[in-house]
Every structure is written in C-alpha cells, then in structure tokens.
C-alpha cells in the first residue's frame, strides 16, 4: 500500500469545519470508508491507497505538490496507530485513525482522493 499525505488546512477547507468529529465524518463519507490516519503533531492526514497510485497517478501527484500533498510510495515510512486508536489521546501527539481501517484490503480509491484534492485546491485558491 501507499499513502497520500494531505495538509490539515486543505482537509479542513473541504470539510468546511475545524471540528475533529465533523472532519472525520466527512472523510469517512467522501472517501467511502477508506482508511485515514490523522497526525495531530504534523497537522496532516494520511489516506491509505493502493500501492500503484504513485506511478499510475504520477502527473497528478506532481501537480499536487504545490498544495502540500505528497504521495508516499516504496521506501517511505509511515507509523500506523494501534487499531483501537480512533481518537486523540489527551496530553499526547499520537496519531490515530480518523477513519478506521475496516480490513487489510480496504483502501481509499484514488479517484476519491483526487476529487477531495481538487475540491481543496478550488477552495484554497478561492480564499487567496
């Protein structure tokens, strides 16, 4: 598998919220229950996607860099939270599942990720 790193500001813009529960619910719906890890310390979200995404979506991935989006493929390291970590632990910066992984093969669909990023790009460009 690979992961797409999404900046918190882009996700908040698309979710139209700063509330964790609202954002998590939005991601669950927008990504069709595809798994997403939240890194509160880095202010990022990581959507887990098929391993082929960095190569098959190469042109889009290069364009997304301007938005702070990065596709992590082979050779990348991403810490994965414990399965039961589905909310922030008070007093820590531990990652947690914003959208829990349903099963090992259930990943976000690349097209859903692309749509989320396109919406975020439109919204963040409108704000500037």
Q: Taking each helix axis from N to C terminus, what angle separates 110-127 and 20-30, rounded to the nearest 10 degrees?
A: 130
Q: What is the pLDDT of residue 128?
A: 52
Q: Where are the domains of the chain?
A: 2-127
* Percent of the chain residues past pLDDT 70, beyond the cut: 98
What is the mean predicted confidence (pLDDT) over 86-107? Answer: 91
* Percent of the chain residues past pLDDT 90, beyond the cut: 73
Cα–Cα distance for residue pair 24/99, rounded to 1 Å? 6
Q: What is the pLDDT of residues 114-123, one digit of tens each?
A: 999 999 998 8
What is the mean predicted confidence (pLDDT) over 72-91? Answer: 89
Q: What is the pLDDT of residue 126?
A: 57
Q: Let me know: does 53 contact 110? Beta carbons within 8 Å.
A: yes
Q: What is the pLDDT of residue 37?
A: 97
HSE toward the beta carbon, residue 93, CA cutoff 13 A? 7
Output the pTM of the full model: 0.93
Q: Let me know: does 6 contact 48? Beta carbons within 8 Å.
A: no
Lowest mean pLDDT among 16-20, 21-25, 91-95: 91-95
């Amino acid at each position: 598998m690979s992961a797409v790193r999404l900046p918190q500001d882009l996700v908040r813009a698309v979710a139209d919220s700063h509330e964790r529960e609202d954002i998590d619910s939005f991601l669950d719906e927008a990504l069709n229950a595809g798994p997403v890890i939240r890194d509160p310390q880095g202010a990022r979200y990581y959507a887990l996607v098929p391993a082929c995404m960095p190569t098959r979506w190469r042109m889009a991935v290069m364009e997304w860099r301007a938005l702070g989006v990065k596709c992590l493929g082979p050779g990348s390291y991403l810490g994965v939270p414990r399965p039961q970590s589905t909310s922030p632990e008070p007093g820590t910066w531990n990652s947690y599942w914003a959208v829990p992984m349903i099963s090992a093969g259930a990943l976000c669909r690349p097209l859903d990720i692309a749509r989320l990023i396109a919406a975020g790009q439109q919204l963040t460009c409108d704000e500037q």
